[in-house]
Chains A and B, each alone.
Chain A
Amino acid sequence: MRSKQGGTDSRSSAWLAENGAVAALVVLVIALSLLSSDFLSLTNLLNVGVQAAVTAILAFGSTFVIVTGGIDLSVGSVAALSAITLAWTATEGGLPWPAAVVLSLATGVACGLVNAVLIAYGKLPPFIATLAMLGIARGLALVISQGSPISMPEAVSHLGDTVGRFLPIPVLVMLVMGVVAAIILNRTFPGRAMYAIGGNEEAARLSGIKVSRIKLITYALSGAFAAVAGVVLASRLASAQPQAAAGYELDAIAAVVIGGASLSGGKGRALGTLVGALILAVLRNGLNLLSVSAFWQQVVIGVVIALAVLVDTLRRRGTN
């Protein structure tokens, strides 16, 4: 009897956590469209989408990591390094752009693999391993570029354009990466194993899941998604900048958490992460439209993150 109630409770609270973020987004959109006449236009909403794209793509990658109970602080730096790699090999190195793109993705994956090796085999806490990578990747980006922006190859910077004169390609890429993340998490063995590891690593290990191998895949995916985000960002700016995406890792983590994931692992979904990233972008955009100063914006966003985690904690206390 008691267990029955527990079941429905946890299911309805899971629904709330998932759709709580959706509900918050809807409320936010309605409020802003009432407060500002400029908000609810197609141009502005697509603009919000473009603003959200880079954070969302990074955050999809972070979702994998957070689902396993880890954290990846290096994604912003890895994004910048990957973009610099692309631009540098295509211009200075003279490689054809498709090869440069592959190298750029490989850079992201390599950074992720280094993180994973330190974590899974070196037994470093993910926080420390990826904090080190945050510095290393950013430093390498500065070293390669000698501190200056490098222009992106013409073909690749079309990623910053629009298709059919209205749909921005970054939004398209964001949606595609979101679908990819959702499929990996929901439908593949590594994805399901990530939830098991985040839920109870020892139980996962004793069920024959090769935990270290799954962690390699997890952090490699995070690196790959970071590379895509870096390239999208550089395309929008038409140049790869070594200082790009600094601090984005925190936005990415915030998006994942607002989206209902738990930093202790085992919970999180791609759709939630998308909603989390959109909430952050809508907030920034709306506060801009309302001419709220950039200083106050930081305060508001901080409050929103705290509220999101508070809700998560209260929900957890409720189910235990």
Chain B
Amino acid sequence: MSEATLRAEGLTKSFPGVRALDGVDLSLRAGEVHVLLGENGAGKSTLIKILSGAYRPDEGRVLMDGRPVEIRDAGDARRLGISTIYQEFNLVPDLSVAENLSLGRLPRRFGLVDTAAMQRRARELLERVDVRVDPRTPVRRLGIARMQMVEIAKALSLDARVLIMDEPTAVLTTGEVGKLFAIVRRLRDEGVAIVFITHHLEEIAEIGDRVTVLRDGRSVAEVPAGTPQDELVRLMVGRPVDQQFPRRPAELGEPLLSVRGLTRRGAFDDVSFEVRAGEVVGLAGLVGAGRTEVARAVFGADRYDAGEVFVRGRRLPPHDVHAAMEAGLGLVPEDRKGQGLVLGAGIGENLGLVTLRDATRAGFVDLKGQRTAAARVAEQLGIRMTGLDQEVRTLSGGNQQKVVIGKWLAAQAGVLILDEPTRGVDVAAKVEIYQLVNALTDSGHAVLMISSDLPEVLGMSDRILVMARGRLVGELRADEATQDGVMALAVTDVAGSRAE
């Protein structure tokens, strides 16, 4: 058995409130494609960020060729020959392909950039990845597939011995995937150790040699890539669903939210569903399946091409947040800090954001009334704070999320769309948020909950909708749904639509 090129032992990494990695082991051999498999939040990104020097582990060590190494930053990773290709490319769009390939190491002659040498080097590298493109072309003009090839060429220019690819096929068409695989195989045969992350199970047997499965921050199994798909799914999600989900079904009432045939080209297609008073509908699927896009379109934050949205039977005008809000719709967005909160403002100010206009009397905002209302909501949600003036920035993730939900409670929104409501929230606060959802449905609210956390979707929904590639591909009653069932729906159709 050949010596591992790179070995990670017992990597542990905690963030405030979350243990992202808990004693993860990984062993990479030269000349293998090693698939990293796991649900969203299982720890894949944290692991590759440690290997590429973006994070430092709290515990554990990394060995290369059997010797312990320190990867303190991206420079260390580069010197060790570890290159990472993230989903967001690290290219400068307005510079040429050649300049991007030589970025930071421009060949110089007499103090000036040696353009000829730069072009020559670029041609050689592009040759290796089998891409025919003029090195003088600005990267912006390449399609996404060729940008990825440029990224790979860049990694090669650094003499990468370990190449980490984070979901490289997510953005490619079938033909492009085939081409990518050809290059990955060629690099493997040249002796590069490749870490390959993918959600598409059918790709594993095709490209992979071995698979390490991560779950809840632990490496739970290392299996051959030929392992059957349902076995992989079981390894990936097979944790017991314990009683951390206190869902208390409420009496169902009228449909409060109806969505019919909602379509935006390239994002989602013919999406129809209803959410009734007292009901929690879970929206499951892989990242990129179009769930957030649908939620934002329903709420009026983004446009859609066709379809209709009704709240309490009244049709909402498209792309009009204010109208959606007036109709009683509220959105707790996925990106809490970027879209949900004014971080530099106080808790009171944030809680009053939605009601600001309605609290205006004769041109003046009723600041006292706003504060009283904010204090009441803060009390109701149990937001732990020093006072209403405390900056939201300084709150924990769970308390921040309560503020985002709270601003809609203050506005008495009847239909709440929660997009990843417990992401980055610690376990205790999660349960508080679940209890809040129960309280909401008890009082006749309707809740649409998007979550990539399967146990959460299963545990907290009354009904589950599954999306894949922009379409609703299934609907399950919560009591008959299983994690494998939901996951199977979420991934199988991916293969189907890929073949189109």
Contact = CB atoms under 8 A, between A and B. Distances in A.
Residue among A187, A208, A267 with max Cβ neighbours from chain B (10 Å): A208
B345 A208 contact: no
B344 interface: yes
A317 interface: no
A115 B320 CA distance: 24
A186 to B, nearest CB: 8
B321 to A, nearest CB: 5
Contacts of A319: 391, 393
Contacts of A2: 394
A187 B338 contact: no
Contacts of B2: none
Given A3-B395, A189-B357, A207-B353, A199 B364 contact: no
Given A187-B367, A206-B333, A6 B342 contact: no
Give the secondary structure class of A's interface.
Answer: helix
Interface residues of A, number: 32
Q: Taking each of B324, B333, B339, B389, which has the highest tally of chain A beta carbons within 10 Å of its own beta carbon?
A: B339
10 contacts: A2-B394, A3-B386, A6-B390, A7-B386, A7-B390, A10-B393, A10-B394, A191-B365, A202-B339, A206-B299
B322 interface: yes
A209 interface: yes
B80 interface: no
B386 A4 contact: yes
B356 interface: yes
Given A188-B363, A199-B343, A8 B386 contact: yes
Interface in B317-373: 321-322, 324-326, 331, 333, 338-345, 349, 353-354, 356-357, 360, 363-365, 367
Contacts of A3: 384-386, 390, 394-396, 399
A208 B354 contact: yes
Nearest to B354: A207
B364 A187 contact: yes
Interface of B: 299, 301, 321-322, 324-326, 331, 333, 338-345, 349, 353-354, 356-357, 360, 363-365, 367, 384-387, 389-391, 393-396, 399, 407
Contact of A202 (B338, B354, B389, B399): B338
B387 A7 contact: yes
Instruction: Name, among A2, A192, A266, A320, the residue most crowded by chain B CB atoms within 10 Å (CB to CB).
Output: A192
A289 B447 CA distance: 69
A189 B365 CA distance: 6
Given A3-B390, A10-B391, A10-B394, A204 B353 contact: yes
Interface in A153-207: 186-189, 191-193, 195-196, 199-200, 202-207
Contacts of A202: 338-339
Q: Looking at A189, A202, A206, A319, which has the most chain B CB atoms within 10 Å of its CB?
A: A206
Contacts of B299: 206
B386 A207 contact: no
B233 to A, nearest CB: 35
Contacts of B363: 188-189
Contact of A206 (B326, B331, B391): B331
